[in-house]
């Protein structure tokens, strides 16, 4: 045997051995890498799970979103749902594969129903839950939860919402359930009419189950139906686990500015009310969605649009200024979202707009209230009006005159002038208020019992002082009816002794009440600073809104609920719309000597 072939064969063995060793090393390397990846994935999932357990839902969702397993997608959806990020939640839940483990797939579908509910997609809610109930793989506990949620959703919807769902769903079983949910909530004639409409759509093969349905039984006898349901109930059931989304439209200011304290106080008060609501309700939550309205009024529309298209808002609190509120009011009506304004007092803000609610009574309301008090309570019948043109009290002046004349009083003099252009010289007007009989006769002046002077703004103090000085010089004994500024400024004691002076104001709680003390302490513990009057206003506005939501459950009824709500006694005073959309609660106070 030659040596060459042996050497060649050894060479092949060495090559083969090298290949085998290399393959083994590669295989081991791959397995080690896979093991590392597996450990890394498990570690990341555990990290997300820990964040989820600690209620850090947004962070948890971002961690789960990096993974691709069905369970990770499920928990990404659950996390974003818990954080109130419904569109993100819906996106990840839709990615859970249909062939994943039944426990994962069914839970993803149930969570998707919860998400759809928050997005007001009630047809999807009922279709998803109905399929879960019929799925053989569904556990008894999940089937029970799905059935309960299904029935709660039906009972939660208004008649109009049930109509919309009915028209968007073709499944006879769900349509029948919608019809049956109306038993006892509408009168017999309405139910009969809807039933006939319903059966007209059904093929003959689908009509068999109706023979034993609750609906068929209820429609057998109109007298029996009237006896069982003498007054159809409109009470709606609120499903467990739902949340409300409240938009807050307030501008951001730098901390060194005076406006910063206003917006911070309002926002903290709103947030505090929401946190109180969440503490009281284990199965319902409120999310606050803040947007910076900026200081540019022209951008108010864009801000409102972004708010609405980012979240399915149930209501909006804000904005800070009446000018911005005018822009937002139009959009509130178009979107059908109630707008609650804490400070805005423009009289044209909610003109013909059923979606704007003003917590701060307008100046027209204040003027009318003062006129009624003057005529009805004080018995005054001859009065004069003096007001600054282009100031807020301008509206009060006209409202006062109209209301007083309607009640039979006479307005002898009506002066609405630009006093600033006259260097605030009131003498040409106050001469008509003199007590000098000879002067009255010579100038043919009519005596007045009272003077309504709704001075407002920066010039209010100056105008009040000048008016009172002239009245003192003229020895006038007229009753003075003023604006809120009359009660806010320090009045000389001799003027309080010599004149009867009245001003309109909400009736706040006295500062020494336990309600104030409890609020102040809890607020300071929460925010590290004492509340301001704007904190009280924000708190009262949010409390009013949340109390209305608590009362009716379904935000689609919020507009009517706010108008018809009983009086809400807030920290800043009572709020009562009395069937209107402007707070009607203003009381009249007499300026008295300081103790």
**What one-character-per-residue DSSP string does 507-534 give?**
-PPPTTSHHHHHHHHHHHHHHSS---HH
CA distance linking residue 453 with residue 449, whole number of Å: 13
Between helices 102-118 and 140-156, what is the axis angle to 10°? 10
Rounding to the nearest 10 degrees, give the CA dihedral for residues 544, 550, 553, 554. 10
Q: For all residues of the chain together, what is the average pLDDT? A: 86
Pick from 266, 264, 286: which is nearest to 276 by CA? 286
Residues near 255 by beta carbon (within 8 Å), at least 6 away in sequence: none
Other beta carbons less than 10 A from residue 427's beta carbon: 11
pLDDT of residue 438 exceeding 90 = no
Average pLDDT of the segment spanning 41-52:
86
Residue 452 CB-density burial (10 A; 0-12 exposed, 13-18 middle, 19+ buried): buried
CA distance linking residue 148 with residue 261, whole number of Å: 47
Tens of pLDDT, residue by residue over 206-244, are 555 555 577 878 888 899 988 888 877 666 778 888 899
The backbone torsions φ and ψ at residue 238, rounded to the nearest 5 degrees and listed phi first, read -100, 115
% residues pLDDT > 70 (the chain): 88
How does DSSP classify residue 255?
A: T
**Token pair recorded at residue 589:** 């106070």
Tens of pLDDT, residue by residue over 371-385, are 999 999 999 999 999
CA distance linking residue 452 with residue 501, whole number of Å: 10
CA distance linking residue 518 with residue 393, whole number of Å: 36
Same fold, 248-361+513-575 and 363-505: yes
Average pLDDT of the segment spanning 514-534:
91
pLDDT of residue 415 exceeding 60 = yes
* pTM of the shown model: 0.80
Radius of gyration of the chain (CA): 35
**Token pair recorded at residue 521:** 């302490």
The full set of domain ranges for the chain reads: 248-361+513-575, 363-505
Alpha helices in 219-257 (DSSP H): 222-228
Range in 184-198, 332-346, 460-474, 504-518 with the lowest mean pLDDT = 504-518
What is the predicted pLDDT for the residue at 594? 60
Contact criterion met (CB below 8 Å) for 516 and 496: no
Other beta carbons less than 10 A from residue 449's beta carbon: 18
CATH homologous superfamily of 248-361+513-575: Response regulator (3.40.50.2300)
Contact criterion met (CB below 8 Å) for 397 and 416: yes
What is the predicted pLDDT for the residue at 41? 63
Average pLDDT of the segment spanning 234-263:
85
CA distance linking residue 135 with residue 105, whole number of Å: 11
The band of 43, judged by pLDDT with boundaries at 50, 70 and 90, is confident
Range in 86-90, 196-200, 282-286, 407-411 with the lowest mean pLDDT = 196-200
CA distance linking residue 100 with residue 68, whole number of Å: 12
Q: 363-505 has which fold?
A: Rossmann fold (3.40.50)
Pick from 502, 567, 471, 509: which is nearest to 372 by CA? 502
């Amino acid at each position: 045997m030659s040596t060459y072939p042996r050497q060649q064969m050894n060479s092949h063995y060495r090559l083969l051995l090298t290949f085998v060793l290399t393959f083994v090393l590669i295989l081991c390397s791959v397995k080690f890498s896979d093991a590392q990846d597996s450990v890394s994935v498990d570690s990341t999932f555990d990290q997300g799970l820990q964040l989820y357990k600690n209620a850090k839902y947004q962070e948890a969702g971002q961690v789960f979103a990096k993974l691709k397993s069905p369970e990770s997608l499920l928990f990404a959806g659950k996390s974003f749902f818990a954080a109130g990020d419904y569109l993100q939640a819906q996106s990840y839940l839709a990615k859970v594969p249909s062939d994943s483990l039944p426990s994962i797939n069914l839970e993803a579908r149930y969570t998707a129903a919860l998400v759809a509910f928050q997005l007001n997609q009630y047809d999807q809610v009922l279709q998803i839950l109905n399929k879960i109930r019929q799925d053989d793989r569904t556990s008894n506990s999940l089937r029970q939860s799905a059935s309960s949620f299904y029935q709660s959703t039906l009972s939660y919807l208004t008649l109009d919402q049930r109509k919309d769902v009915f028209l968007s769903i073709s499944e006879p079983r769900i349509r029948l359930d919608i019809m049956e949910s109306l038993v006892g909530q509408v009168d017999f004639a309405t139910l009969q009419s809807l039933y006939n409409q319903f059966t007209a759509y059904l093929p003959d093969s689908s009509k068999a189950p109706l023979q034993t349905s609750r609906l068929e039984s209820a429609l057998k006898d109109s007298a029996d139906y009237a006896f069982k349901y003498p007054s159809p109930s409109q009470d709606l059931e609120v499903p467990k686990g739902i949340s409300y989304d409240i938009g807050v439209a307030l501008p951001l200011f730098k901390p060194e500015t005076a406006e910063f304290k206003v917006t911070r106080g309002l926002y903290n008060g709103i947030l505090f009310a929401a946190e109180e609501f969440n503490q009281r309700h284990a199965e319902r939550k409120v999310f606050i969605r803040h947007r910076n309205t900026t200081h540019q009024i022209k951008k108010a529309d864009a801000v409102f649009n972004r708010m609405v298209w980012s979240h399915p808002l149930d209501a909006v609190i804000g904005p800070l200024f009446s000018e911005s509120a005018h822009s937002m009011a139009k959009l509130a009506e178009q979107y059908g979202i109630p707008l609650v304004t804490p400070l805005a007092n423009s009289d044209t803000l909610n003109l013909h707009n059923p979606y704007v609610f003003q917590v701060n009574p307008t100046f027209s309301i204040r003027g009318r209230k003062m006129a009624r008090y003057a005529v009805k309570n004080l018995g005054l019948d001859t009065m004069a009006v003096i007001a600054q043109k282009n100031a807020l009290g301008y509206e009060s002046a006209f409202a006062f005159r109209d209301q007083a004349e309607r009640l039979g009083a006479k307005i002898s003099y009506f002066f609405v002038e630009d006093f600033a252009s006259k260097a605030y010289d009131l003498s040409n007007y106050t001469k008509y208020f003199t007590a000098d009989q000879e002067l009255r006769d010579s100038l043919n002046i009519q005596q007045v019992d009272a003077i309504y002077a709704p001075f407002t703004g920066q010039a209010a103090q100056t105008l009040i002082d000048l008016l009172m000085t002239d009245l003192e010089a003229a020895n006038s004994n007229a009753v003075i009816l003023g604006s809120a500024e009359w009660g806010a400024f320090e009045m000389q004691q001799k003027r309080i002794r010599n004149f009867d002076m009245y001003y309109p104001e909400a009736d706040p709680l006295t500062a020494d009440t336990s309600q104030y003390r409890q609020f102040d302490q809890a607020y300071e513990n929460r925010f590290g600073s004492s509340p301001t009057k704007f904190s009280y206003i924000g708190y009262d506005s949010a409390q009013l809104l949340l109390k209305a939501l608590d009362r009716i459950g379904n935000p689609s009824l919020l507009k009517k609920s706010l108008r018809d709500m009983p009086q809400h006694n807030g920290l800043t005073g009572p709020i009562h719309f009395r069937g209107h959309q402007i707070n009607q609660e203003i009381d009249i106070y007499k300026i008295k000597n300081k103790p």
